[in-house]
Amino acid sequence: MPGSIKDKVAIMGVGYTKFGELWDKSQEDLLVEAGYEAFDDAGIEPKDVQAIWVGVFYYFTGLSGCTAVEPLKLFGRPATRVENFCASGMDAFRNACFAVASGVYDIVLACGVEKLMDSGSRGLPGLKDFGHPVYGNASAPAMFALAATRAFHKYEWTKEDLAKVAVKNHYNGAAHPKAHFRREVKIEEVLSAPMIAAPLGRYDCCAMSDGAAALILTRPEIAKQYKHKDDYVLVKGNGLAVETVMPFYKPSFDYLGFPATQKAAQEAYKQAGVKDPRKEISCAEVHDCFTITELLNYEDLGFCKKGEGAELIREGVTAIDGELPVNPSGGLKCFGHPIGASGCRMLVEITKQLQGRADGRQVKDPVLGLAHNLGGPASVASVTILGRT
C-alpha cells in the first residue's frame, strides 16, 4: 500500500501572474513574474532555490525544464519539465513534494506556465492538431457535451443548472484582481449565448488563457525559519490517478463521472485522514473546464452522492458564502485555464485562502482546502489537500 505525503512538505511562498490574453508577454516573462513574486512572498533569494519543477503541456514555444532556468537566472540547478495534460502543473508540484520529502533538497520551486494564445502562431501545431494515435480525437467540448446530455437524460438536470455554475464562478472571479474575466454574468446571458457543442454554450466552456503560477516548497522545520513562519501551509494529501485513456470512447463509460478523479480523491483523502469531505473540506478549486464537469466533480470528490451534483449549485452550497465554497477564485471558467499553470494556480489560491489572504473572496476560517485537475481528456486526475499548520 502506498504511504503518505502528509505533513512532510510545507508551502512557504506563492506567486502568480494575472491570467488572460497576454500577447505582450512571453512564457519566460510569465515565469519570471510568478517566480519572483513567490521568492518575495517566501522571503528567500532566488539563489536559495535548489531545484525546479515546471509544468507545461505544450513544448511548441520552446519551454522545458532546462529552458526555464535561463529566464529565472537559476543557473546550475536541476530543472525538470513535467507534462501530464491538464494536470501538468499539479504533477510538477507533486514531484517537487517527493524531492523535498526525500530530504535531497531543502527549498525548491514548483511552477506551471502556458501560453495558449500563441499556440500555433509560429507555424507549429495547436490544440486542433492533437490526437491519440489509436483513438484519434474529438474536441473537448464535443466530449463533455455527451456528459451533459447524459446527465440531462438520467438526472433531469437542465441548462439552467449548468448556467448557475457559470454565474457563480463569474461572480467569484469578478472579485479577483488576477482573473481573466473580471465581470459577472447573468443567467439569461449564459442561456442565450452561442452554442459551442450542444447543450454546452459559450459560458459553459472555459476560455483560452495565458498565465503562470509558482510555489516555494520546503520541509516544515525550515518553513518555521522564514517569512510565513506562523502561517505556512502543509500538504496533507495527494493523489494522482490514470484510469484509462479516452474514457469517452470506452463502451463501459457511463458519462456520469470520472473514475480518475474518484481514485485520486480516495488516495488524497486517505492520506489526509478525511472521512467526510462535505464536512471537512473548507473550500475547493476544482477543474471546471466545462460547467457540467464541475457538477460531476462534486460527486466524484465525494461532496455529494451520485446524481446530486446539481442540487449543490441550486441550493448555494458551493457559493462563496455557502457551506463548501467551490472555485472561490472564479475557476477555470472565469479565472482562465493556461493548461500547465492551472494546477499550480489552484494551489496558490488554496494557500492564500488558508492564510486568510484571499482579499475580496475570502472563505470564512478555512481549515482544509482541496485542489483538483482533470485532464487527458478525463484520463488523468490529481487531487491535493492543503491544511493550516
What residues line the site for its own copies (CB under 8 A)? 2-5, 8, 26, 50-51, 59, 61-62, 64-67, 69-70, 75-85, 91, 94-95, 97-99, 101-106, 122, 124-125, 129-133, 239-245, 259, 263, 375-376, 379-380
Q: How far is the CB of 26 from its own copies (least distance, A)?
A: 7
Nearer to its own copies, 4 or 172 (CB): 4
Q: How far is the CB of 265 from its own copies (least distance, A)?
A: 13
By the 8 A CB rule, do 231 and 253 touch? no
Pairing of strands 51-55, 107-115: parallel
| Residue from 86, 97, 205, 206 carrying the catalytic annotation | 86
- Say how far residue 157 (Cα) sits from the centre of its chain: 25
Distances (CA, A) of 47 to 36, 151, 177, 222: 11, 51, 29, 16
Q: Is 86 marked active-site? A: yes
Nearer to its own copies, 188 or 221 (CB): 221
Nearer to its own copies, 254 or 315 (CB): 254
Question: CA nearest 80: which of 56, 103, 100, 61?
Answer: 56
Nearest-angstrom CA–CA distance, 298 and 277: 10
Q: Which residue has the cell 482573473?
A: 179
Question: CA nearest 389: which of 214, 215, 218, 224?
Answer: 224
Q: Is 97 marked active-site? A: no
Nearest-angstrom CA–CA distance, 288 and 164: 13
Q: How far is the CB of 13 from its own copies (least distance, A)?
A: 19
Q: How far is the CB of 315 from its own copies (least distance, A)?
A: 33
Classify 34 as helix, strand or coil. helix
Question: CA nearest 100: which of 197, 9, 227, 203?
Answer: 9
Nearer to its own copies, 49 or 166 (CB): 49
Question: CA nearest 206: which of 233, 171, 158, 169?
Answer: 169
Q: How far is the CB of 182 from its own copies (least distance, A)?
A: 30
| Residue from 170, 228, 287, 337 carrying the catalytic annotation | 337
Nearer to its own copies, 104 or 198 (CB): 104
Question: Which residues belong to the active site?
Answer: 86, 337
